[in-house]
Structure 1
Amino acid sequence: MAEVYISVQKHDFDISHEYATLREDNRSDGAIVFFSGLVREMNQGSKVSGLSLEHYPGMTEKALHAIVDEACQRWPLNRVRLIHRIGQLAISDQIVFVAVTSSHREAAFSACHFIMDFLKSRAPFWKKEVTSDGERWVEALSKDQQALNKWQA
């Protein structure tokens, strides 16, 4: 059973601390793979000046655990850390951190990719962008569904 840490939080995270936590007392893993997502300045053809993330407490954490549990069933993972921020975020702010450890790189890369693909489409977060054209809710794209489909095969 993998050691799992999941946090939905307003405050920022320190990637070097998260990485060090995954390395601590860890002699069995040969791979650590992580992804950190940032608020970008352009999205869907519009200039973005900020982002607001909302969620449904309780339901969100349950969905995140289900995604991580699925990854742990598919690949031999030893540690998983998933942090997702909520609230008001500015350009270049960190939004999400997903990290996994495994004995081998293939499992770690695949599991990290899988978790991010499912977070993008299945986690109950609602994103509102502030753009040059006003505020708008960010909707799932067809490419997000295509990313999920590859894991269904």
Structure 2
Amino acid sequence: MKIALFPGSFDPITVAHVDILMRALPLFDKIVVGIGINSSKQGLLPIETREAMLRELFKNETQIEVQLYEGLTVNFCRQINASYMLRGIRSAADFEYERAIAQINQTMLPGVETILLLSKPEYSAVSSTIVRDILRNKGDVSPFVPKGTLPYL
């Protein structure tokens, strides 16, 4: 069984995340959306809200499973028997960052391959960081987040 982990904070999930995930579905038998818990980092949305939002969003997708995890992502890959890590990239800067992480992960867990999918051009400016800033300033995030997530925001 080809299992991929799509890790992130998803604070909040964006249309760009969903696009990467849906485009990756045909490549794997199962994709685990792993919401990383970082106790040293204060998120905008509580972890329980992010988990509920993603579970609701993907409730009809039998290939997608949502799980929380803490600690090293490679350890979570071991735990769920993932052989792939899925990441989206929007820019050359994203590529350089993801390349470095993928190489470190490859050294720590050689059996896991990182798959990088390019974002569609219309999503290249969409990031959780920008969406959080819009939310903090009471702006309209509806063009940047999946429709089903608005009640959570």
Q: Same fold (TM over 0.5)?
A: no
The structure where strand makes up a greater share of residues is: 1
TM-score by length of 2: 0.30
Q: Which is higher, the Rg of structure 1 or of structure 2?
A: 1
TM-score by length of 1: 0.30
